[in-house]
Structure 1
Amino acid sequence: MESYGLTLPTKNGPPLAGHGALAVRDAIAAQIGGLPEQLRRSLTWDQGAEMAQHLQLKLQTGLDIYFCDPHSPWQRGTNENTNGLLRQYFPKGTDLSRHSITDLDAIASTLNTRPRKTLGWRTPAEAFKDHLSLVS
């Protein structure tokens, strides 16, 4: 976020590294806007403080936002699986601001073109394309 690394952190002040509620809200709003409207219906999140701006996000995007029960990762199974795949590239606690958008896009492309058993050995990109052809 703007000002990251330019000032000393304030105790209990806003996070400036790009993972606070404002940064998450803005990033989700920017990314969700690139999806076809029929796919922008809802978002399910865990109980993390990074979603403290969920009401503003709902107003900004029109998304219905749901929260999982505490300690219930199975309510977000695909997300938990994806987190495990991402840990192959980024160990827990990695500062993603140290990576370029080109690097992050390359990793996303690698994961989106990796066949998955749960998709009948299709890739997420293939499944997404197939789904788009059904809802269009």
Structure 2
Amino acid sequence: MGGVTPQQTPPPEMRDPIVNRVKVDPHRWRDVVRGHLPIHLAAVGHTVARYADNDTGENAFPGVTRLAEDLLTSERTIIRALATLTTLGWLHQTEQGGRVRQRNNAYCLTIPVPVAIPLGWVPENTAPWMERR
């Protein structure tokens, strides 16, 4: 992980200034997520990560229908998985889509605080789930 030792904060480019949570590129996200999620959540998360920007882990907006088609499952299953991944801190919804605007929700790949602590990637003055203030 590039010489990160415990008690250090992540580099500035890895911190989200709005919600103050650790965000990562898809490659690091895939490495960290391994072993932390049940297979159905990991499958949805990995598929969302495929649609994220390769450098920042942002701007993933594949849509529920696309994810359901990619994973050969129902839209309801995808909706539940996205909600769970967001609640657990593995995704952050950065933009609300909708049928009226004909846009999909946008997501950013993030690492929850309990997982980030052993990596030494915990921003200063951070509440446990780093909700928007």
Same-fold call, TM > 0.5?
Answer: no
TM (norm. structure 1) is 0.28
The structure whose residues are more often helix, as a share, is 1
Tell me: higher relative CO, structure 1 or 2? Use CA pairs within 8 A at least 6 residues apart. 2
TM (norm. structure 2) is 0.28
